[in-house]
Structure 1
Amino acid sequence: MIKLDYSQHQCPYPVVETRKQIMANPGQPLTVLVGDRASRDNVSRLATKMGYQPVSTESGDGFLLTLTPNAKESNTTTQSNAIPETAATGKTVIYCGSDQMGSGDEQFGRVLMINFLTTLLEMEPLPDTVLFVNSGIALTTQGSAVLEALGTLESRGVDIASCGLCLDFYQKKDQLQVGRVTNMYEMVEVQCQAARVITP
């Protein structure tokens, strides 16, 4: 069994390196030691996507992930991930890199962003993913004026994802109210594979 220790690294490093190891050793079980919950969740999602069954146990101050390949899926899934997807999938991604829309008066920009996100509820089809980066994470955390709208979008199948590193920087990870935590690797991947990326 391949043993990996990324407990001293923050995301996206554990995700990127785990993916490399899975690609280099298709069908082989792995253990991955990570230092925080965000890394645990992100590596688990990657493993599931690549045809592995992740099992997490606490280990000291971190988490030990045991990744076991699914017998019927590991080879085909690993092979499909060996070549990056370059063709657009038809998906739409909304990228919120700020809690404001456009440039100019900051307060007015925040009003515009609130209007933009609430108006998304009226769109058909809905976007597939809404990413929140840098000060944009203020929109998914405690005190945001659009929590209800984002919660409705999530309940209708839209993936609401906030940058974990950004939540840490602004010390708001424990204030996340809607959606999930993501990492830079996944955010870049989602945008590269999308048919369109919209930045309000």
Structure 2
Amino acid sequence: MSKNIDARGKNCPMPVIMAKKEIEQGGKFFTVQVDNKIAVENLKKFANSQGYEINVEEANGDFNVKFSNGCEECEEILAKVENKKPLGDWCIFVNKNTIGVGNEELGQSLMKMFFYTLSEGSDYPKHILFMNDGVKVPTLNDQAIEHLKALEEMGVQLLVCGACLNFYSLEEKLSVGKVSNMYEIVDVMKSAAKVITL
């Protein structure tokens, strides 16, 4: 993520020194904000001497001098990949909107906490399967959806029964996961070392 360094109101060579310090600390992508053209020119010269590309944007009399050394988007993708943990050979089957039998509000809250706890752990399932009333979790339970998105980013595949979405008229409300079918869901269950049903 690009860092922002506010050097407005500081006379040269302070903006250059601040940029130099950021580079010495390993910064590859950062922006130095200055309020005069002399500072901009000095930062350009310094960036060129360090092998950095420079991009200048002017806004309301201030200048955003953007330093870059490489591909910021690539760095972010690599960071995500490196942070991914290996997936376990198991899956979770969700066939209702709540965990347990009893108070519905409590059951929905437990569902949210379950996926939060799972996303914060170190062992992830390969798949999470949603069928019947369970399709309401990735469509209507906003807090659970947030944690499901985090799991999906870690590589967990979320499969949601398309016929069930259609039955409950929730096709347009699917916020995470992909629409699936009985054949694919059964195939995942058969190939998993274990299936946990909520």
Give the structure-2-normalised TM-score: 0.53
Q: Which amino acid aligns with 1:169?
A: F
The 3-state SS of whatever aligns with 1:141 is helix
The structure with the larger Rg is 2
2:156 corresponding residue in structure 1: 158
Pick closer, same or farther for the CA change 1:143–1:126 going to 2, 3 Å.
closer
> Would you identify which runs of 4 or more consecutive aligned residues in structure 1 move more than 6 Å?
none
C-alpha distance in structure 2 between counterparts of 1:103 and 1:191, whole Å: 24
Length, aligned pairs only = 111
- Alpha-carbon deviation of 1:175? 1.1
Q: Which amino acid aligns with 2:137?
A: L
2:143 corresponding residue in structure 1: 145
C-alpha distance in structure 2 between counterparts of 1:149 and 1:98, whole Å: 17
- Residues 72-108 of structure 1, C-alpha deviation per residue, up to 9 Å, x if partnerless? xxxxxxxxxxxxxxxxxx6110111011001122221
- Point out which structure has higher relative CO (alpha carbons under 8 A, 6+ apart): 1
1:173 corresponding residue in structure 2: 171
C-alpha distance in structure 2 between counterparts of 1:143 and 1:113, whole Å: 9
The 3-state SS of whatever aligns with 2:139 is coil
| Contact residue 111 and residue 144 of structure 2 kept, 8 A | no
Q: Which amino acid aligns with 1:156?
A: M
Unaligned segments of structure 1, at least 5 residues: 1-89
C-alpha distance in structure 2 between counterparts of 1:123 and 1:105, whole Å: 27
Q: Which amino acid aligns with 1:174?
A: E
C-alpha distance in structure 2 between counterparts of 1:142 and 1:122, whole Å: 22
1:112 corresponding residue in structure 2: 110
Q: Which amino acid aligns with 2:196?
A: I
Counterpart of 1:122 (choices 120, 123, 127) is 120
| Contact residue 108 and residue 141 of structure 2 kept, 8 A | no
Q: How does 1:32-47 map to 2 (within 5 A)?
A: none
1:199 corresponding residue in structure 2: 197
C-alpha distance in structure 1 between counterparts of 2:141 and 2:134, whole Å: 13
C-alpha distance in structure 2 between counterparts of 1:147 and 1:182, whole Å: 17
Counterpart of 1:134 (choices 132, 135, 138) is 132
C-alpha distance in structure 1 between counterparts of 2:138 and 2:104, whole Å: 18
- Alpha-carbon deviation of 1:143? 5.3
- Residues 137-166 of structure 1, C-alpha deviation per residue, up to 9 Å, x if partnerless? 111115532111111110110001110000
- Alpha-carbon deviation of 1:114? 1.1
| Contact residue 100 and residue 113 of structure 1 kept, 8 A | yes
The 3-state SS of whatever aligns with 2:99 is coil
- Alpha-carbon deviation of 1:122? 2.1
C-alpha distance in structure 1 between counterparts of 2:144 and 2:109, whole Å: 11
Unaligned segments of structure 2, at least 5 residues: 1-87
Which deviates further from its counterpart, 178-187 or 133-142? 133-142
C-alpha distance in structure 1 between counterparts of 2:179 and 2:131, whole Å: 11
The 3-state SS of whatever aligns with 2:176 is coil
1:103 is aligned to 2:76: no
- Alpha-carbon deviation of 1:109? 1.2
